[in-house]
Structure 1
Amino acid sequence: MKNIESKFEDLYNANYNKVLRLCLGYSNGDSMLAKDLAQDVFIKVWENLKSFRSESNISTWIYRIAVNTCLLNLRKKKTLKVLGEVKDLEIDNDSSAEKEFKLKQLYECISFLNKESKSIILLELEGIPQKEIAEIMGISHQAIRVRIHRIKNELTKCVKK
């Protein structure tokens, strides 16, 4: 039992902040809801850790749980609010106020995407490799590359309006 607890603690420490940021994107910047969702994710990880089959990277498995947990929450609520500021996204050569404004514009535009596109771009913004995003989403790597390109074009048009 001690070994599984140690493994879980390592997984939690390595993945919590990434899962929390992903949940923030789905919860439209509501930090309390994002923390609740992240907690739900890690409860599911704990409950299912013994059954993890190692068919993929464990972080991919955790992200899949996070995406599914967040999507389930969206289905329950069926309401989307304007996304709040998400840290760790850099917009070069802008003042702090400009960065915050651009971030809010970007995440407001992301909130209008369909659930699958939203999942893909939030994982991309998290810095997850595209091959891993493909595995998480259950589609080919080539399809992910095309969709990310299209989503970025769509978001660029939205932000410029």
Structure 2
Amino acid sequence: MKNHRATFETIYSDNYGRVLRLCLGYVKGDTELAKDLTQEVFVKVWENLNSFRNESAIATWIYRITVNTCLLQLRNKRYLTGTEALEKKTATEEETPFSNENRLAQMYACINKLNEESKGIILLELEGLPQKEIAAIMGLSHQAVRVRIHRIKNSLTKCVQHELL
């Protein structure tokens, strides 16, 4: 049991920030909900650590748990309030329309318009995961992920440019 705990603590410290950022992307910046989902992910990791078969990297397994947990949350709650809060914040801030903060806010607003699969792919890409690992997490071929990332980036570029006009 002690070895199990030490292994989990290492996994937790190595992956907490990435899991939290991925959850934040899914719940449109709601920090409290993202923290709750992150906690739920690590509870699942703890409960299933003995069943991990080492067929992939531990981080890939944790990302898959994270994506599934976030998608389940979205399906169950139909979470929508983050975008409205982001839009209100952006509308009330006195900044130029081309500032970096505004562009980042617009990019995440555009990401939130994507379907669940595309959102998952681009959030993992933004996290810096290799495309082969994204393919394994999402259950797609590497080539399919490459094509989708290219299309998603084009779509996001158009969306952000349109939102800033």
TM over 0.5: yes
In the other structure, the counterpart of 1:127 is: 128
Per-residue Cα deviation, 1:4-57 (whole angstroms, up to 9, x for no partner): 100000000000000000000011100000000000000000000000011111
Q: Within 5 Å, give how 1:137-156 maps onto structure 2.
A: 137-156=138-157
Give how far 1:84 is off. Answer: 7.9
Please tell me the residue identity of whatever aligns with 1:146.
Answer: V
Q: Which residue of 2 aligns with 1:77?
A: 77
- Equivalent position of 1:59 in the other structure: 59
Deviation (angstroms), 1:77 = 1.3
- Structure 1: state its 5+ residue gaps: 86-94
Distance in 2 between residues matched to 1:28 and 1:154, nearest whole Å: 18
**Gap change, CA 1:155 and 1:84, over 3 Å in 2:** farther
Overall identity of the aligned pairs, in %:
66
Alpha carbons 2:64, 2:138 under 8 Å: kept: yes
Amino acid at match of 1:147: R
Question: TM-score, normalized by length of structure 2?
Answer: 0.88
Q: Which has the higher helix share?
A: 2
1:43-98, CA deviations, whole angstroms, 9 ceiling, x for partnerless residues? 0000000000111111000000000000000001113331888xxxxxxxxx9x81
Asked which structure has the greater CA Rg, the reply is: 2
Structure 2 alignment gaps of length 5 or more: 87-95
Please, what TM-score do these two structures have when normalized by structure 1? 0.90
CA contact (8 A) 1:29 1:84 kept: no
1:111 aligned residue: 112
2:93 corresponds to: none
CA RMSD of aligned residues (A): 1.6
The answer on whether the counterparts of 1:29 and 1:83 sit within 8 Å (CA) in structure 2 is: no
Aligned residue identity for 1:50: N
* Inter-partner Cα distance in structure 2 for 1:84 and 1:67: 23
Q: How many residues align structurally?
A: 151
Q: CA, structure 1 residues 122+83, in 2 after alignment: closer, same or farther (shift >3 Å)?
A: farther
Could you tell me how far apart the structure 1 residues matched to 2:107 and 2:58 are?
A: 30
Shift in CA distance, 76/55, structure 1 to aligned 2, threshold 3 Å: same
How far apart in 2 are the matches of 1:146 and 1:21?
Answer: 24
